[in-house]
Structure 1
Amino acid sequence: MRVALMQPYFLPYIGYFQLIGAVDLFVIYDNIKYTKKGWINRNRMLLNGSDTLFSLPLAAASDSLDVCERTLVAPPARHKWLAQMKGAYRHAPHFASTARLLDSIAGAPEENLFAFLHQALLKTCAHLDIGTPIRLSSTVPIDHALKGQDKVLAICQAVGASTYINAIGGTELYSRDQFAARGLQLQFLRSLPFDYPQFGAPFVPWLSIADVMMFNPVGTVRERVMTHYELI
């Protein structure tokens, strides 16, 4: 069984969904520390030809809390990202269908950060017809005090994995020998370039999946998610 583990991210780039599509089980970390300068509650969109950050604003809280312990601010400030995105992409060819998905995501009642990110991920996967089961890391019976590679190995063994697939950015974090010693194959997913028209301006790569969906039919996005990568 092929397994991947990732932090939750808000409307992440296409490579995140390729990782989900490439495995038999995707485990998402809900019991990890929130990182302020990471991508957990923010991402990039296209605005006036340049990449621009959008984010989910959080209620003030200790930086030591886990993702599942953080809370979003109350509406309407919570949905500023949606207005930003609609303004930026209102003339995109697939705005209508993508905006309906984003409206559904924004309309969810969850105030908890992880719960909001989780439902956004599930809805986006459903929109792209990606059926990979998604499991919360906290439900896997391991010692959750473990860190880094040791935690990944423990989760893989607990769920019966034969292969662990990680995003290409993790090549320096994991040892093929250590995985092999546990009877596991280690692979890395590298997304292939996917250029598409963005209002006639120079192409800006690796933006949020929302950008990809605004400019491409759902069928094309799904095909790129499921096939347009290589495993090394």
Structure 2
Amino acid sequence: MVDSLSIMQPYFFPYLGYFQLLKATDHLVVLDNVQYPKNSWVNRNRLVVNNKPFYVTIPLKKRQSYLNPINEVVISAEFLKWRSKMIKTITQEYSSSPYLKDGIDLFEEATTPSEYVSTIALNSITATAKYLEIDLNYSLNSQSSIALSETKGKDRVIAICKQFNSNNYINLPGGVCLYGHNEFLKHDINLKFIDFASYSNRPGYLSILHLILKFGKEQTMQWVNNHNTKNGGNSV
């Protein structure tokens, strides 16, 4: 039995809220076998270059179908060249930061060459969670017995919760309008959300890597730990 569960696609160095969710939940189900959402956070995120948001985008192999599931999307043959360029860009932009080495080490660990973008995205999550001392337990939905073709939306979430015998599903605030708390209660599942409104001075929606590079481990850990959960969802 898993007390609390979250379900997320594998994002590349996702923003702070993703790691607050990991901190708040007992188990993460990585939704790696749904259709790849083009121009999503699976293969990109934002740092700051020249005082402006800058997309760090993992290059993908051209002429492949984006109808493929995330775990079948292949990276480009130019990946190593891109990786070297990004390390130079990060080093130059954050050169004055005392936390540069930590950030570069994380980036290098996460971007160990792999065939699939899902592996690199997941590496960025697990490496960062370890760095931030988050006890991360996760499983891949691609290894689940649930047939995605037979479930979608809330029904998929409820089916996954039942598979893990979990009575608490925790999501990020973006899901508030997507799910109805009454529908979950019918299945004895409490629908909860990370509460961003419960505290001030929260950094924006840049990559967690930017926070580590700019503010370091201790400050970033404080932000990760400074969260609440609340019951929510629409009235359906």
TM over 0.5: yes
Paired amino acid for 1:90: S
- Partner of 1:216, secondary structure, is helix
1:118 deviates by 1.4
Amino acid at match of 1:85: I
Question: What is aligned with 2:223?
Answer: 224
Report the alpha carbon displacement of residue 8 of structure 1 after superposing the two structures with TM: 1.0
Match in the other structure for 2:133: 129
Q: Hey, which bits of structure 1, 4+ residues long, moved more than 4 A? A: none
Matched, 1:187 2:192: yes
The alpha-carbon deviation at position 230 of structure 1 amounts to: 4.3
How many matched pairs?
A: 223
97-106 or 78-87, which deviates more: 78-87
SS of residue matched to 1:63: coil
Is the CA contact (8 Å cut-off) linking 2:171 and 2:192 kept in structure 1?
yes
Alignment of 1:26-175 (within 5 A): 26-60=28-62, 61-74=64-77, 75-79=79-83, 80-106=85-111, 108-145=112-149, 146-175=151-180
Unaligned 5+ runs, structure 1: 197-204
Which letter does structure 2 place at the counterpart of 1:168? P
1:71 corresponds to which letter in structure 2?
V
Please state whether the residue corresponding to 2:148 is helix, strand or coil.
coil
Shift of 1:77: 3.2
Q: Is the 8 A contact 2:36 2:66 kept in 1?
A: yes
Alpha-carbon distance in 2 for matches of 1:42, 1:190: 25
2:14 aligned residue = 12
Letter in 2 for 1:136: L
Report the residue type matching 1:48 in the other structure.
N
SS of 1:31's partner is coil
Shift of 1:141: 2.3
Distance 2:189 2:179 in 1: 12
Which consecutive unaligned segments of at least 5 residues does structure 2 have?
232-236
Helix, strand or coil for the counterpart of 2:91?
A: helix
**In angstroms, what is the RMSD of aligned CA positions?**
1.7
